[in-house]
Amino acid sequence: MGKLERHVTITDVAALAGVSVGTASKALNGRGSLREETRARVREAARQLNFEVNAGARSLHSGRTYTVGMITTDTIGRFSIPVLMGAEDALGAGQMSVFLCDGRDDPIREQYHVKTLIGRRVDGIIVTGRRTEARAPISPALPVPVVYAYIGSADPDDCSVVPDEAGGARKAVEHLLAVGRTRVAQITGPEHHHSARVRAGAAAERLAESGLAPAGPTLFGAWSEVWGRQAIGMLLAGGADFDAVFCGSDQIARGVADALRSVGRRVPEDVALVGFDNWGVMVEGSQPPLTSVDMNLEGLGRTAAEMLLAAINGSPSPGRHARPCHLVVRESTAVPLVPGAA
Amino acid sequence: MGKLERHVTITDVAALAGVSVGTASKALNGRGSLREETRARVREAARQLNFEVNAGARSLHSGRTYTVGMITTDTIGRFSIPVLMGAEDALGAGQMSVFLCDGRDDPIREQYHVKTLIGRRVDGIIVTGRRTEARAPISPALPVPVVYAYIGSADPDDCSVVPDEAGGARKAVEHLLAVGRTRVAQITGPEHHHSARVRAGAAAERLAESGLAPAGPTLFGAWSEVWGRQAIGMLLAGGADFDAVFCGSDQIARGVADALRSVGRRVPEDVALVGFDNWGVMVEGSQPPLTSVDMNLEGLGRTAAEMLLAAINGSPSPGRHARPCHLVVRESTAVPLVPGAA
DNA sequence: CGTACGGAGGAAAAGGCTTTCTCTGGCTTT
DNA sequence: AAAGCCAGAGAAAGCCTTTTCCTCCGTACG
């Protein structure tokens, strides 16, 4: 474990350099007017002692901690991780450290974390979660700015950075139309889930705009492969006529792909398939690899962090900011390898 | 964004309660000798003003920040998340907050994070990473205790909490033997990857202990489904005779399952299959669901956090602590539904 | 009735750092 | 040569809490 040395203070550094603490502070921070020789002497002393300035003591003065809190309302998971990473990235570049708090879907716990963060005098807070549905603000009035990422705040004056899922769904449908499909079926997650409804609704709307009716009713179920396989069974049993399936998630799409293959329907020749989330291990493991809508979660996190930094510096960006999704095309929608033929 | 109120200090509280700051402090912390009526008055004032004590100022005194740093040596990912969550859980119970730092496989970046954490006067540091192979200590001597979780430290005096992968592999083989398999093939990840070698080596050893030779050479490749499918192709093409496959990861196992199904070999009737990692979405999405070795990453994180807390309180646990893995049995190894028949 | 004691709460120092103010030589300026 | 400046560095105040040490007052006891 190494020797546990005592923490070095600026007093130690000043003593070693033979100057006063005030002078040492100025030397290390490039303030005041000092001879270059003095500065160098202090710097050398600091280096020699492995001095790291006590951030707590410093912020006592500046009022800034260069620290932000990140609260996941529900458990840290597949969606919050990329958001978290994007935020960490953007904040790290601004020399800020991140306190990570897991709310575990428990409002009490969440409230406790908010209080703790305020106590730690974070400069701001990022709230994220597993679903995109708007949620109640974490607190009516806080002394620091708050930005919601992925999950949105129900208060329209709060700053929220969310994916444009409807736009993503429309892009998926447009792509299917572009590769010549007209009988599009939909299989998605639970009906009570906001994302399932939004994605399915937007897709249906886009079809209607092209004068097309959906190939059968939208099948709501679960966000799982098992459901994807079941749903295809239902679709086939019902004699539905479809040449494409837009799925609410990659897991569902993968289940669909497997089920279609096992009944001898070829993807994409007979049925084109689009998933949602662009989850690497799913889209790549699938046979064939899946075309999917990417919500750019990392970008979402980065943007949220940048907006938080701006808010901390006095330029808030209130309101709901929807960020575009983009489509990543793979074999499951059979785009010709030679682009000219499109 | 709510009104951005100024931070409330204990001076404000004291003024509102009509007492001195010292008294206010005592009232809020249950120290000193005060009339209950006074305490109540101060508490009420604090509540009314939404007072949260400034943790930085407090720790200036106590020398403790009730904060720990968590550094992932490589990118935050599938393995570090559960570890992180376990740690967060154990630390949260001890009222500690977690600074999350992503090292991104960059030693410079990592070193920067270490310095930052020391500057923030964390009480301790947890280091984790994507691989189990021992790594160089993050720093030769730090003023705070360090615990390595999942990834181990090369210094045997450091405290490391790691999974007993070899033990896990042995359990997998024992299970295969128990369900009557004797011709066990192995497909795993890249040969240069520590986990791949350890798991494969331990499995082979366990087979040898029962007087069995492996069914063909261990196939090293990648940690992907695609590789699993390819490898089965190689095995079949080579005319290997096997009734079980022990895979280095669930992804590989899943690829194997798909490939076997597509050539008409039944799992588990013809070939029993065991994966590694017990990664929910993989083992459950697979057809059939996979028996897999679980490294209990969350438990690892929790243990690491507990050991760190102990070290902070003066009772370090130096050395490498291997934690057992356990086997989760599912359909891919055809255990009879009626336990009596085993 | 005077002293001692204990309870209640105030005053002040400490903890590490930044920043403003002040002080001291050594120059320049007239 | 006297006045004025400036660079360079120290002294001290201030940030927010905690904690130690005091004081004050009332009560109990000798």
Asked if B175 and B283 sit in the same domain, the reply is yes
The enclosing domain of B47 has a CATH number of 1.10.260.40
Tell me how far apart the alpha carbons of residues A253 and A240 are, in angstroms, rounded to a whole number: 17
> B182, B203, B164, B184: which is closest to B323 by C-alpha?
B164
pLDDT value at position B315? 94
pLDDT value at position A342? 40
Q: What is chain B's mean pLDDT, rounded?
A: 93
**Is B76:B85 a contact under the CB 8 Å cutoff?**
no
Q: Which stretch of A139-148, A293-302, B40-49, B73-82 has the lowest confidence by average pLDDT?
A: B73-82
Q: What is the mean pLDDT of residues B245-253?
A: 97
A275 interaction partners in chain B (CB closer than 8 Å): none
pTM: 0.93
Interface of A with B in 169-188 (CB under 8 A): none
Interface of B with A in 200-259 (CB under 8 A): 224-226, 251, 254-255, 258
Q: What is the mean pLDDT of residues A171-190?
A: 96
User: Residue B3: pLDDT band by 50, 70, 90 thresholds?
Assistant: very low
**Is B276:B292 a contact under the CB 8 Å cutoff?**
yes
The minimum CA-CA distance between A16 and chain B, rounded to whole Å, is 19
**Is B15:B59 a contact under the CB 8 Å cutoff?**
no
The minimum CA-CA distance between A205 and chain B, rounded to whole Å, is 31
Kindly state whether residue B262 falls inside one of the protein's structural domains.
yes
Handedness of CA A35, A36, A37, A41 (dihedral sign): positive
Of all nucleotides, the one whose C1′ comes closest to residue B37's CA is C8
Tell me how far apart the alpha carbons of residues A81 and A117 are, in angstroms, rounded to a whole number: 20
Asked if A99 and A207 sit in the same domain, the reply is no
Interface of B with A in 129-158 (CB under 8 A): 137, 139-146, 157-158
Asked if B144 and B213 sit in the same domain, the reply is no
Residue B69 pairs in a beta bridge with B99, B125
Tell me how far apart the alpha carbons of residues A301 and B89 are, in angstroms, rounded to a whole number: 23
**Is A333:A274 a contact under the CB 8 Å cutoff?**
yes
Strand B124-128 relative to strand B67-72, pairing = parallel
The separation, in Å, between residue A40 CA and nucleotide C17 C1' comes to 20
Q: Tell how far CA A319 is from the center of its chain.
A: 18
Rounded (5°) CA angle B76-B77-B81: 85
Question: Which structure tokens are listed for A205?
Answer: 């709307």
Q: What is the mean pLDDT of residues B171-185?
A: 96
pLDDT tens digits for A105-137?
899 999 999 999 999 999 999 999 998 989 999
pLDDT value at position A336? 55
Residue B272 pairs in a beta bridge with B244
Kindly state whether residue B288 falls inside one of the protein's structural domains.
yes
Q: What is the mean pLDDT of residues A251-272?
A: 95
State which residues form the domain around B172: 165-295
pLDDT tens digits for B70-114?
999 888 888 999 999 999 999 988 889 999 999 888 999 999 999
Kindly state whether residue A340 falls inside one of the protein's structural domains.
no
pLDDT value at position B1? 40
pLDDT tens digits for B13-70?
999 999 999 999 999 999 888 999 999 999 999 999 999 999 999 999 999 999 999 9
Tell me how far apart the alpha carbons of residues B291 and B332 are, in angstroms, rounded to a whole number: 6
Q: Rg of the Cα trace of chain B?
A: 27
CA distances from A2 to A42, A101, B288, B341 (A): 26, 30, 49, 55
Using the predicted structure, report yes or no on whether residue B327 has a pLDDT greater than 90.
yes
Kindly state whether residue B5 falls inside one of the protein's structural domains.
no
pLDDT value at position A247? 98
Kindly state whether residue A338 falls inside one of the protein's structural domains.
no
A7, amino acid identity: H
Question: Which structure tokens are listed for B116?
Answer: 């930052």
**Is A223:B281 a contact under the CB 8 Å cutoff?**
no
Using the predicted structure, report yes or no on whether residue B183 has a pLDDT greater than 90.
yes
Which helix (DSSP H) or strand (DSSP E) does residue B102 occupy? strand B97-102
**Is A207:A173 a contact under the CB 8 Å cutoff?**
yes
Residue nearest to nucleotide D16 (CA to C1'): B57
The minimum CA-CA distance between A320 and chain B, rounded to whole Å, is 12
> B99, B162, B195: which is closest to B307 by C-alpha?
B162
Using the predicted structure, report yes or no on whether residue A2 has a pLDDT greater than 50.
no
Using the predicted structure, report yes or no on whether residue A51 has a pLDDT greater than 70.
yes
Using the predicted structure, report yes or no on whether residue B260 has a pLDDT greater than 70.
yes
Asked if B51 and B155 sit in the same domain, the reply is no
Asked if A135 and A54 sit in the same domain, the reply is no
pLDDT value at position B342? 40
Kindly state whether residue A288 falls inside one of the protein's structural domains.
yes
The enclosing domain of A137 has a CATH number of 3.40.50.2300
Asked if B76 and B184 sit in the same domain, the reply is no
Q: What is the mean pLDDT of residues A237-257?
A: 96
Q: Residue holding tokens 């575990």?
A: A104
Handedness of CA B260, B262, B264, B268 (dihedral sign): positive
Asked if A243 and A255 sit in the same domain, the reply is yes
CA distances from B328 to A199, B79, B103, B332 (A): 36, 18, 32, 11
| A108 CB within 8 Å of a chain B CB | no
Question: Which structure tokens are listed for B69?
Answer: 């740093």
The separation, in Å, between residue A206 CA and nucleotide D28 C1' comes to 91
pLDDT value at position A14? 94
Kindly state whether residue A104 falls inside one of the protein's structural domains.
yes
**Is B245:B220 a contact under the CB 8 Å cutoff?**
no
A284 interaction partners in chain B (CB closer than 8 Å): 224-226
Tell me how far apart the alpha carbons of residues B302 and B99 are, in angstroms, rounded to a whole number: 16
Other Cβ atoms within 10 Å of B284 Cβ, number:
15
The separation, in Å, between residue B22 CA and nucleotide C2 C1' comes to 33
Q: What is the DSSP letter of B7?
A: P
B318 interaction partners in chain A (CB closer than 8 Å): 1
DSSP H helical segments within A210-326, as ranges? 225-237, 250-262, 280-285, 297-312
| A84 CB within 8 Å of a chain B CB | yes
Q: Which residues have CB under 7 A from strand D?
A: A 18-23, 32-35, 37-38, 57, 60-61, 63; B 7, 9-11, 21-22, 24-26, 28-29, 31-32, 51, 53-54, 57-58, 60-62
Asked if B220 and B270 sit in the same domain, the reply is yes
pLDDT tens digits for B113-135?
999 999 999 999 999 999 898 99
pLDDT value at position B42? 96
By C-alpha distance, the chain B residue nearest A125 is B1
Using the predicted structure, report yes or no on whether residue A176 has a pLDDT greater than 60.
yes
Q: Tell how far CA A71 is from the center of its chain.
A: 12
User: Residue A76: pLDDT band by 50, 70, 90 thresholds?
Assistant: confident
Q: What is the mean pLDDT of residues B295-320?
A: 96
B263, amino acid identity: V
Q: What is the mean pLDDT of residues A182-200?
A: 97
Asked if A282 and A300 sit in the same domain, the reply is no
**How many structural domains does chain B have?**
3
pLDDT value at position A3? 45
Using the predicted structure, report yes or no on whether residue A158 has a pLDDT greater than 60.
yes
pLDDT value at position B341? 43
Asked if A155 and A169 sit in the same domain, the reply is no
Question: Which structure tokens are listed for B160?
Answer: 């490391």
Asked if B170 and B263 sit in the same domain, the reply is yes
| A316 CB within 8 Å of a chain B CB | yes
CA distances from B248 to A245, A285, B80 (A): 34, 16, 18
Kindly state whether residue B339 falls inside one of the protein's structural domains.
no
Rounded (5°) CA angle A278-A282-A283: 55
Asked if A145 and A180 sit in the same domain, the reply is no
> A315, A298, A313: which is closest to A94 by C-alpha?
A313
Q: Which nucleotides of D are covered by protein (CB under 7 A)?
A: 7-21
